[in-house]
Homo-oligomer: A and B are copies of this chain.
Amino acid sequence: MALAEKTDKRVQLLIAAEQLFAEKGFDGTSVRDIAQLAEVNLAMISYYFGSKERLLKALIEYNFNLNIELLEDLSKNESISPMDKILQLADFYVDKFILKRRFHTIVSQEYNTGRSSEIKELITNFKMRNFERVKGILAEGQRKKVFRKVDPEMTMATLIGTINQVINSRNMYCILLRIDSDNEEDYRRKVTERLKIHFRQLLRSHLAAE
């Protein structure tokens, strides 16, 4: 708690907001909830971010700008086969989405219901960048005759949709996979492994040329 007091209050607010927006939704969370969890005066939200909505925007912008260069490297790497490339990409998405599951839950919610077109554009751009990356690998694989012809948009929907489904139905998959919902570390490890194995089998048979 002494460490928390030392930390920047701006960061404390972002952390608290991420947790609460994911658990109760943007409109279901009051600025007083956030301030209380962050142990910060509620006026600091306006002071640092201007408004509750700009706090959300800052949260989204910060998370979207993480790890982008990591993915660029993978896409350009010529020494990896398309199949390994897509499997590594799937692993990357699994790791990142599961690790930041709260944030990605917020993104899912906000893309539908959010009233801010600024935020919607942010999310659309992020999704587009990800899709272009997948589409590029699929095209490369087809050019090299190691992938068969598939629907790139639907394949993307399957990749991201499967992960989102597991994240956004966490309660259910904790029951099905017999995972203690309170043990976040155990949840992360088990779900990550199951998803990666599933994708290895699914993507191989879906993409491999006959």
- What is A's interface to B at a CB cutoff of 8 Å? 22-28, 105, 108-109, 111-113, 115, 120, 124, 127-128, 131, 150-151, 153-155, 157-158, 160-166, 168-173, 175-177, 194-195, 197-198, 201-202, 205-206
- Given A154-B162, A162-B161, A206-B205, the answer on whether A169 and B109 have CB atoms closer than 8 Å is no
B112–A154 CB distance below 8 A:
no
Report chain B residues within 8 Å CB of A113.
23-25, 28, 109
Number of copies: 2
- Name, among A28, A157, A163, the residue most crowded by chain B CB atoms within 10 Å (CB to CB): A157
Q: Which residue of B lies closest to A201 (CB)?
A: B150
Q: Can you give 24 contacting A-B residue pairs, CB < 8 Å?
A: A23-B112, A25-B25, A26-B27, A28-B113, A108-B108, A109-B112, A109-B113, A111-B169, A112-B170, A120-B171, A124-B172, A150-B198, A150-B201, A154-B162, A158-B161, A158-B162, A158-B165, A158-B202, A161-B164, A162-B162, A202-B202, A202-B206, A205-B205, A205-B206
Q: Judging by beta carbons under 8 Å apart, are B115 and A105 in contact? A: no
Q: Give A25 to B205 CA distance when docked, in angstroms.
A: 38
By beta carbon, the residue of chain B nearest A131 is B176
B195 x A154 contact (CB < 8 A): yes
Closest to A121 in B: B171
Given contacts A108-B168, A120-B171, 4 further A-B contacts (CB under 8 A): A24-B115, A28-B113, A154-B166, A157-B165
